[in-house]
Structure 1
Amino acid sequence: MNLALQRLITLPWRREYQAWLRSDGVTWVYIAKVLLAAFTTYWLALRLELPQPRIAVITVVLVMQPQSGQVFAKSFYRLLGTLAGSTMMVQLMALFGQDSVPFLGCLALWVGLCAAGAARFRNFRAYAFVLAGYTAALIGLPALAHPEGAFMAAVWRVLEIALGIACATVVSAAILPQSASAAMRNTLFQRFGRYARFVVDGLRAGHPQSAFEACNLQFVAEAIGLEGLRSVTLFEDPSMRRRNGRLNRLNSEFMAITTRFNALHQLLERLRSQPPQRVLQQLEPGLASLVSVLEHCADHALNLEDAARLALRLEHWKNQWPPLVRQWRRTLEEGGPSDAERLDFHTTFELLYRLACELHNYALTHASLADHNHVREQWEEPFVNRTHGMAVLGAGVRATLVVGLMSAWWVLTAWPSGATMILVSAITVALSSMNANPWRMSLQMAGGTLLAALFGFVETFVIYPRIDGFPLLCLVLAPVLVVGTFLSSRARWAGYGLGLMLFFCMGALPDNLTRYDPSLFINEYLSMVIGMLLCAAAGAIILPPNSRWMWRHLEADLRRQVVFAISAPLARLGSSFESQTRDVMHQADTLAAGQPEVQRQVLRWMFVVLEIGHAIIELRREQALLPVHPSYAEHRAWRVSIRVMGRSLIRLFIQPDTRNLRRSQAAVERAIGRVRQTEEPFASHFDTSPLRRVESYLHFIRTCLLDPQSPLAACGTKARGDAAHAA
């Protein structure tokens, strides 16, 4: 009895301990690796008598990440950015070494250009632009007093940064490595199990709107995150590099699955809300058959063997599909269905069949990961990012103005610490350009710099004179680095941790020849804080990306994806449309954090854009596959009507209002009528009737335009409300 009671008491503690090992335990391992890499780099830099050992340590602080693949990727792009920034600095020094005013003006433009590039890419490639920007300032500003030493200063900076990169990568890869490829495999395998449960529950009884939206947001974020992981694993794992095409294909096919199911789910919800439900009664066997196939994978990780078995089940399901659909159609026809019910039946089964096809393709690609070489590796439709031009322009303008104003202040006041102020401003504005809230990021970095000033003053003027030897130096530096690394590992406090570590190393880390000058120390940190506060003010005033204007622009970008689906070349259109739409949605959701109504509105626009855009792409594909046959040549009016419908939809999604909505609805009705007038509106075989598929997609577009839950419905509601108010 006592033993059982003891086990019962200790069980919660065991669970808490295991949770700590999974979360904070990994963090403390990461902190230990940061300390080891930083101190190893610092010792080597001192032994090699590099001019500024602190630059090597700062490199370690900036490069180190929890996963080794992230360290490799960040190190690679940091080295590229350093080389680009050093090259530009040497060129500027050769042109304007004798005159600081044009040099500082060109430097401000260069930093702005690099900040715009960082805002454009928003991943580890953006880090190359960040480094290219502030490396030029890091090397060029101290060299203004001695232009003849600019080239050697660039060489020394590259060597110091290379030393930091080498130590960080070795420590990250050799000591308790956390593999990015393992994280990607886990995410990839677990994701399909969760989505299978989502599909099964949705086909059985549907999802509440709030749960449906929340789950879709999660899957959008996972698709974007998986693309980032894929780009990182290329630097780490040769086996993942050999499967890069299939990993890219898997993400694209998963996005296609989500679009297919979202369209099917929305149509089923409309049918469930419109009695009588005769069509639903005929749909239930088809839905149940697909549910039985996916039930085996729900809530389970999809390993390679399970993926192969799933592919076989889906192939068997597809082979049995045509005769079953003909049987269900005959049962429906016995009840004398209306034209609307007949269209609902065919449209729903078309979407269900296409969903099964997408699932089958995904299962085949997933199972092919077991082979080193496979034909499905040939995939030339990469994930396409889309960043609004105003966000890129805003980041560039902010960086240029901040560095330009700081440079003018330095020239006019001749403040000895003005060069540090410009350098810190360039670093801060470049790093914050990758953040969704540059004002908050800059302000947090300023708070971290104040902590660095306090810690640095105590250590520089109280502790350093009383210690001797490198081990004691590491001992007194460790608490500051531990606190900074811990803060940077938490998303809410990442700016504080980054500011503390980065600017403690910059202002308080001893060089080979250490100077103890309190007035210089205070002036240096005062210039750092002033520069960061100006960056925070610029982030809040000059085109802030998390403001209302940016949400509106991103919403307009999201709607214009329908224009892209209508007018872009058909080659590689599907994956480009899927990835760009989700990328814009993810940006808008991130920038609108704390504004649930805005996030919900943008998410609803994403559903409409994906549904109508995907239907349009399928229409274009069906038209391209239809042969030019005399029987079709006599009835080409339906093709013209579809083109007219496309122009109406372009006007609607560029300017959503009641007039354009009615025009689009009328254009869709005319297109459906034209298709019905052809000689073969329906064929006896479900899967060989291209005109039926055309009519089904047209009907689906019509139901999307008439959906009362759609944001398009708000156009008509608002117009009717305005008319009633005017009356």
Structure 2
Amino acid sequence: MMVPGGIRFEHVLFSLKTFGAAMLAYWIALQSGLPNPYWAVGTVYIIVNPLAGGTTSRAVYRLAGTALGAVMIVVLVPNLVFSPLLLSLAIALWCGFCLFVSLLDRSPRSYVFMLAGYTVALTGFTLVNVPGTSFDVAVSRVEEIAIGILCAAVVSRVVFPQHAGPVLAHRVEGWLQNAATLTRDVLTGRSESAVLRNERHKLAADAVSLRGFTDQVAYEGAHGRGLAERMRALQQRMIAVLPLLSEIEDLLGALGRGGSHAPLTERVLEWLAFDADDAAEAQGEADALLAEIARLRQRLDDSAHSWDDLLALRLAGRLGELVEVWADCQVLRSDISSGETHALRRELATRHRQARALHVDYGMALRSALSVVIVVLVGCAFWIWSGWSYGAGIAQIGAILCCVLAAMDNATPVLRKVLSLMLFALAAAFLYKFALMPLIGSFYALVAALGLVLLPAGVLLAVPATWLMGFQISVNLIYMLMLDNQVSTDFSAFANASLATFGGLALAMITIATVRAVSAERSATRLLRSGWRAVSEVAAGSRRIDPELIAGRMTDRLGLIAPRLAMLPPESAVLEGDILRDLRVGLNILELQRIRRELPAAEQRPLDDLLRQIATLYRSGAAGTAERRRALASSLDRCLGDVLSDAGTPQRRLRDALVGLRGGACPGETPPAFAFPDWRVSA
């Protein structure tokens, strides 16, 4: 058995725990006289996770989804059973609706809606000939799944539980170390721009992964909820690092590495290397550096007489923000390690709860919902037309596969792999059903026989790289065997059920390939365009957006697009897009809008024209063309020229925001030539 990195003790322990929970659930279901005890066994293998919080979250939401699906079975089947077409349409629409809603919620609770959808398809069609038993079957299904959930959750928490805290702390430490390395590379210029950009993309993807991991931690009791709150606060600051590094890199590229700003970058590098055990000492060093940067900014502000001076002033400000963000990260990392509470953490966590920003693609969610509707309707049409009693299995298996693979751009390659794994599970089920099980005379002998396959499959489940293999083998074997309180050797029923299973797989593969599948390039383009629309909305002022909201959403998009960009050919036009630049533009626009409200009406009109121009450009989806960048740069230069001679505080902030906006929206454009007046700005 090939496991990347080799089989470790924790993998074997996880497999033993999972197998033990499954057999305990099987025994309880048998003793309770439930009609389909294999549902309890399969539930264990569906929800298990090496971490206790992951198992609990899936357990809670699987039970809720099953209960909601059971309610819909009782509502739909008895009332529509006499009209097969209406019943098929109702179940198809319900599955599509639930999948659509689940894809709009990228949190663990999305599992509720997905499961509520395909539970109706999986169970409802089996009740067509006996609609009067709908309520009893729905109740027993909830009971069977609840037994599996309780056994998995209890064993996961009681028997050598593996908590997410240490794993999460290790991953956070790794992210911060990688971010620190990237920061040093940006400040020193040791790496090429393309390398730095790839590293920023990787950090964004890791931040998205950490967000999902943090959601699981919240299900580990009071300690887990406290840890999750600290992590969400830290993630707020982690998100802020990426656009800062992007702009600092651009500013250093424009100014060169050896100018008057070099001592400041060296000072920041020294501070990053400073390692203090005492939190108060570390904060004192950060405060001293921030005071030093503030004095330098004042001197630059008083003596700025060139475009490079404005860039140097902007660079000093970005470096100051970088120091603040890193100091916050150190405080919050200390909170995670020690369990202490700081006002910073409470403030950030509160803002996180008020505005959690995740990207949502309504178009792809609708296409995924349409694919499952088509699969259910086509499967039911074949079932009704052929009169084949096992035909419902095509619609059932097809609906499940369309749901569980809905988040993938193109699930066809995965379905091909699923096909080979299903064939393996089918062969194993055949040997069990017709060779081993007729010879087994006790429950304990059956447990020992099942362990021959389920224990190795459990080891595969413990490793992310082999999880799909372990899941398909274990779950398919359990449901193909249909473990009951007596052995069935009906070859005809086994062959028909297997044929329907592979028919559902084939139907799902065809439907996904024609309706749902998109290329990595097209998916990346959709993410870029969604970022452009966000900038357009911010510039148009159509709705008030918090800076952290847009930062979180744009960073989330960057994390989603990063693995897709790695799959594109070098000549792809999509690679020219830069979501971090779009984020910087959006944040500077928000700053312009705040400053605009402080200005006299006469000074607001040029800014209004500028914001309308930006909104139009980004709305058109072609904000990166050279001609339009030049036009926007000209408008920005006119606005900058208007505020150079004004020493007021709002105008000074406006000047800085315009400089940042020009660097983000018009990269590579010819520097402006201004007639700088002899002015001084008081502190």
TM-score, length-normalised on structure 2?
Answer: 0.90
Match of 2:43 in 1: 59
Residue 261, structure 1, aligned to residue 232, structure 2: no
1:292 to 261, 264, 270: 270
Matches within 5 A, 1:217-228: 217-228=201-212
Identity %: 22
What SS does the corresponding residue of 1:282 show, helix, strand or coil?
Answer: coil
Match of 2:119 in 1: 135
1:664 to 632, 637, 642: 632
1:620 to 590, 593, 598: 593
Name the structure, 1 or 2, with higher relative contact order (CA <8 Å, separation 6+).
2
- How far is 1:582 from its partner? 2.0
Residue 88, structure 1, aligned to residue 48, structure 2: no
CA distance in 1, matches of 2:5, 2:663: 50
Deviations 1:144-183 (A, max 9, x none): 1111110010100000000000111111112222212222
- How far is 1:198 from its partner? 2.2
1:586 to 559, 573, 586: 559
- How far is 1:114 from its partner? 1.8
Structure 2 CA distance for partners of 1:437 and 1:667, relative to 1, 3 Å? same
Residue 343, structure 1, aligned to residue 310, structure 2: yes
CA distance in 2, matches of 1:600, 1:292: 39
Q: Is the 1:428–1:532 Cα contact (8 Å) retained in structure 2?
A: yes
Structure 2 CA distance for partners of 1:207 and 1:346, relative to 1, 3 Å? same
Structure 2 CA distance for partners of 1:374 and 1:353, relative to 1, 3 Å? closer
Residue 481, structure 1, aligned to residue 454, structure 2: yes
- How far is 1:20 from its partner? 5.7
- How far is 1:211 from its partner? 2.2
Match of 2:291 in 1: 319
- How far is 1:326 from its partner? 4.2
Match of 1:415 in 2: 388
> Which amino acid letter does the alignment assign opposite residue 460 of structure 1?
K
1:651 to 589, 598, 616: 616
Structure 2 CA distance for partners of 1:70 and 1:667, relative to 1, 3 Å? same
Deviations 1:296-339 (A, max 9, x none): 25xxxx9xx56554333211222233334445677xx5xxx752
- How far is 1:491 from its partner? 4.9
CA distance in 1, matches of 2:464, 2:658: 45
- How far is 1:101 from its partner? 2.0
CA distance in 2, matches of 1:565, 1:598: 31
2:536 to 544, 551, 563: 563
- How far is 1:374 from its partner? 4.5
> Which amino acid letter does the alignment assign opposite residue 108 of structure 1?
A
CA distance in 1, matches of 2:534, 2:373: 31
CA distance in 1, matches of 2:571, 2:444: 54
> Which amino acid letter does the alignment assign opposite residue 186 of structure 1?
H
Residue 242, structure 1, aligned to residue 226, structure 2: yes
Matches within 5 A, 1:299-318: 308-318=280-290
- How far is 1:489 from its partner? 4.6
- How far is 1:599 from its partner? 8.5
Q: Is the 1:446–1:499 Cα contact (8 Å) retained in structure 2?
A: no
What SS does the corresponding residue of 1:468 show, helix, strand or coil?
Answer: coil
1:702 to 651, 662, 666: 662
- How far is 1:137 from its partner? 1.8
Matches within 5 A, 1:111-190: 111-190=95-174
> Which amino acid letter does the alignment assign opposite residue 639 of structure 1?
Q
CA distance in 1, matches of 2:280, 2:138: 55
What SS does the corresponding residue of 2:274 show, helix, strand or coil?
Answer: coil
What SS does the corresponding residue of 2:161 show, helix, strand or coil?
Answer: coil
> Which amino acid letter does the alignment assign opposite residue 380 of structure 1?
R
CA distance in 1, matches of 2:496, 2:433: 15
Deviations 1:22-68 (A, max 9, x none): x6333222222221111111122222221101111110010011111
- How far is 1:562 from its partner? 1.5
Q: Show structure 1 runs of 5+ residues with no match.
A: 1-18, 627-631, 682-688, 711-727
CA distance in 2, matches of 1:469, 1:78: 31
- How far is 1:602 from its partner? 4.9
Q: Is the 2:100–2:368 Cα contact (8 Å) retained in structure 1?
A: yes
Task: Answer with 480-489 or 178-187: which moved more.
Answer: 480-489
- How far is 1:235 from its partner? 0.7
CA distance in 2, matches of 1:489, 1:691: 58
> Which amino acid letter does the alignment assign opposite residue 527 of structure 2?
L
Structure 2 CA distance for partners of 1:659 and 1:218, relative to 1, 3 Å? closer
Deviations 1:477-524 (A, max 9, x none): 122223433444555554443332222111114311332111111111
CA distance in 1, matches of 2:126, 2:301: 80
CA distance in 1, matches of 2:63, 2:440: 35
Structure 2 CA distance for partners of 1:446 and 1:307, relative to 1, 3 Å? farther
1:497 to 464, 467, 470: 470
Q: Show structure 2 runs of 5+ residues with no match.
A: 671-683
- How far is 1:243 from its partner? 5.1
Root-mean-square deviation (Å): 2.7
CA distance in 2, matches of 1:163, 1:73: 16
- How far is 1:552 from its partner? 2.4
Task: Answer with 523-532 or 196-205: which moved more.
Answer: 196-205
Match of 1:380 in 2: 351
> Which amino acid letter does the alignment assign opposite residue 282 of structure 2?
L
Match of 2:430 in 1: 457
Structure 2 CA distance for partners of 1:251 and 1:306, relative to 1, 3 Å? farther
CA distance in 2, matches of 1:314, 1:64: 44
Task: Answer with 116-125 or 210-219: which moved more.
Answer: 116-125
Q: Is the 1:638–1:675 Cα contact (8 Å) retained in structure 2?
A: no
> Which amino acid letter does the alignment assign opposite residue 557 of structure 1?
S
Structure 2 CA distance for partners of 1:25 and 1:622, relative to 1, 3 Å? farther
Match of 2:32 in 1: 48
Q: Is the 2:250–2:663 Cα contact (8 Å) retained in structure 1?
A: no
Q: Is the 1:252–1:578 Cα contact (8 Å) retained in structure 2?
A: no
Residue 214, structure 1, aligned to residue 198, structure 2: yes
Q: Is the 1:308–1:367 Cα contact (8 Å) retained in structure 2?
A: no
Task: Answer with 533-542 or 376-385: which moved more.
Answer: 376-385
- How far is 1:661 from its partner? 2.4
CA distance in 2, matches of 1:603, 1:245: 36
